[in-house]
Each structure stands twice: as structure tokens, then as C-alpha cells.
Amino acid sequence: MRAFAFAFAFACALAPSIGRAQECEEGRERIDSRCCWPGQTFSAEHLRCEGEPRCPPELAEHGETCVARVSSTAPVPSAPTTVATLGLSAAADLGVPEAYGPSTRDWPTLGEDHPSRAARVRGKDLGLIEFALSIFDVGFLFGWLTAGLDEASRPCAGASCGSWPLAFIPVAGGLASGLAQFGSARFRNVAYGVIIGIPSVILQVVGLIAAIVAFSGSTDDLGFRPIGDPHGVSLSFVLGAPNADAGLSVDLRF
Amino acid sequence: MPQMPRCLPALLFVSSLLAGCGGGPVLVPRLGLGPFRPGDSGIYDQAVSAAAAAGHFPTQTDPARGRFVLLATSDPMREIRFVVQCYADGWITVSPDGPRIEAVGSSFRVPREVRAEYAQLVLGLERGVVVVDP
């Protein structure tokens, strides 16, 4: 069972960073297991592809990336900041509209399958909540560590003192499992109880305080809502929460 | 003190690990904007402009089919793309695409780090694509 638990912990830690080795799109190639343009290297420090790219013939070099080349005579902006100031004429400068033509004849139709829209919503800072609960978890693990070391030392006449279940008590459990007296030997494991148990208490208290602060405050986040939602005031409970796999949200709309 | 089942500590340990596994993929709906004037091909140009202004330059364009592709910069593996599709009935949709994207009905399961960029891209398109009344 313990082996399974440790395997699970490693799987949780590694899963997000493991990607399937697949071909890269648009002529990019896999460099250090990332998709970069030919001629580039992947910077582990900046987490991006760096260097002058060697673009495929159908693409044009643009800074450290390659962009679509629609018209061979159309210029490509020299820097993203230039394009950002171009407004509605940016597509023309990218060589987009003249070559595209005005027809929407071959465009698909969406019908009634309307998408959702992105929106800024106000809610709880889940990152801070996760951070606070992680600190609490580490403190809780310290409590178990205290109990585990206490058990391993078999202090009560060469046997367990039976104080390990106290480690499951939040906040003070680790300290209690080290200092509690059980059995005929009436032994206090002060060393483990104080050296590991007190940090366990401190971490759990800090985690709890941070969680209270996180739950009581609010922050802006990006959310989603169906297009065409009626305006007006409505209150609803929605399954799911921003930035989470599962949860329950209260949705107040004006 | 009564004896606890021997597997109880391991079960509690696994539960605490489950609580800490919050870094996985998240479910997001398909996003888009509109409707604009049906048959207006100008939304394509405006969408490309708006994406460029938001720092996303198309790596594939297919104006005949109203489609262009952008790279997701938040993906550490540099494999995920956003497919922008313009529709003849005036809609624009943005769909994530790539090896770690899973379609779930009309939604997508995407890596957590891509979620914010996905939403911000659509917000950027909303700022750049203007409604033109007929």
C-alpha cells in the first residue's frame, strides 16, 4: 500500500511534464523534446525557443518565430510592437487581406452551436488557496513524520507506545504523538515531539491562516459564459469553478 | 487505545496526495465571438489583425476557408495551437488543438497553463474585431 502511495505521488508530480513524443506542426522540429523552428534552441531558463529561426519556404521570419506568408510581395512587420500599433491595418501589413479575396463562399456555417465567450470574473484566488493548503499538508506530513520516528524507535520497553494515531489530529497531532504518554513505560519522546512536532504545528497554523485569508478575499480571473446570456440580475449555482477540474461556483450576473 | 486498521494511514496519505494534485488539465468550453454581419469576409482580416496585436502571429492561413492557426506561447512543449475559424454566418470560434488537447463534447480538456492564454486570446479578438452594421 505504501509503495502504491509513493508511486502515486511520483505520478502526480511528473504527469504534467510528460508529453507524448509526436511530430511538430508547421515545419518545426523537436529540440530538447520541445517543438522549435529549425535553427533554434530551447531555453530551459526562459521556457521558450530562442535564436534566429530558419523558416520553411511558405513562412516568413518574424522575430524569433515564423509567420504565414500569404503574398510574396507583401511586407512582414519587423517587430511585434510595430504590429500592435497598426490596428485594423495590421492584417494588410502582414500581407493578409489583398490575397484573401472577399468571398465567404467556402466558409462553414456555425448554425446554432454557439461558442462561449471569455470574460473577466471576480472570484477566489485558487492559486493562493492551493498554496495555503499545501503548506498545511506539509505541516501535517511533519506530524506523521514525528509519529513514524517515534514508532520506529520503539521507546516503550522495546515496543510501540501506541501514540501514533494522535498524528491524525490536525495542527497539534504531531506534537501530541511525540509527547503523549502511553503504556506502562510512560515515555515522552521529547526530541522528536519538539524538534519536528513544533515545526509541524507552525506550518499547519500558517497554512490555515493563509487559507482563511485566501478564502475571505477575492481576485479577478478569466472565466467563460455562454454567448447570448440574458442581461439582468440572476443568481445561480454552477457546477465547476474557474481554474479547477471540479467545484461549485455561485454565479451572480447583472 | 483501540487499534486502527493497518491500511488507514496509507489511505489518509493517498487522500492528502489527491488533494495536492491540482496541476492537471482543466475543462474549458469552445470559445468564440459574434455574431457579426453574415457574409462579411472582413472579420477574417480583423481577426488576424487582432491576433497579431495580441502577440499571436498566424503560422497557417487559409482565407478561402476562413481559418488560420496560431501557436500557444504558454505551452512549455510548444505543441499546442489555436485554430481560429470564421463562419459565413458571422461567427468566429477559437479551438485549441494539439497532442495534449482532448475534445469532450463541445469543450476541451487543456493543460492548465494554456487556459488563461486561450481566454486572453479570445478577449483580444473581441477588442480587435468590430461590429460593422449592414
Residue among A4, A91, A107 whose CB faces B45 most closely: A91
Nearest Cα of chain B lies from the Cα of A233 at a distance, in angstroms, of: 23
Q: Which residues of A touch B91 (CB under 8 A)?
A: 110, 114-115
| Weakest mean pLDDT among A130-134, A184-188, A191-195 | A184-188
Cα first-last separation, chain A: 51
Q: Is A55 on the interface with B (CB under 8 A)?
A: no
pLDDT tens, chain B, 134 aa long: 445 455 555 555 555 554 444 568 899 999 999 889 888 888 999 999 999 998 899 999 999 999 999 999 888 888 899 999 999 999 999 999 998 899 998 899 999 889 999 999 999 999 888 765 44
- CA distance to partner chain B, nearest, from residue A195 (Å): 22
φ/ψ (deg, to 5) at A140: -65, -40
Sort out which chain A residues have CB atoms less than 8 A from B122's CB and list them.
117-118
**A120: pLDDT confidence band, cut at 50, 70 and 90?**
confident
Closest-CA distance, B17 to chain A, in angstroms, reads: 6
Percent of chain B exceeding pLDDT 70 equals 80
Q: Specify whether the CB–CB gap between B13 and A5 falls below 8 A.
A: yes
DSSP B65: G
Q: Which of A47, A104, A181, A238 is the best mutation test for B, with the most CBs of B within 10 A?
A: A104
The distance of A90 to chain B (nearest Cα, Å) reads 5
- Compute the Cα dihedral for B96, B99, B105, B110 and give only its sign: negative
Asked if the C-beta of A25 comes within 8 angstroms of chain B's C-beta atoms, the answer is yes
Query: Searching chain B, which residue's CA lies closest to the CA of residue A16?
Result: B24
- What are B72's three cell numbers? 500557444
| A4 vs B: CB within 8 A | yes
Element (H, E) at A98: helix A97-100
Q: Where are the beta strands (DSSP E) in chain A?
A: 29-31, 34-36, 41-43, 48-50, 59-62, 65-68, 116-123, 219-226, 234-239, 248-253
A223-245 burial string, b = 16+ CB within 10 Å, else e? Answer: bbeeeeeeeeeeeeeeeebbbbe
pLDDT for the residue A44? 80
A133: contact with B, CB 8 A cutoff = yes
Record the cell numbers describing residue A65, joined without a space. 518565430
Between A and B, how many residue pairs show a Cβ–Cβ distance under 8 A?
A: 230
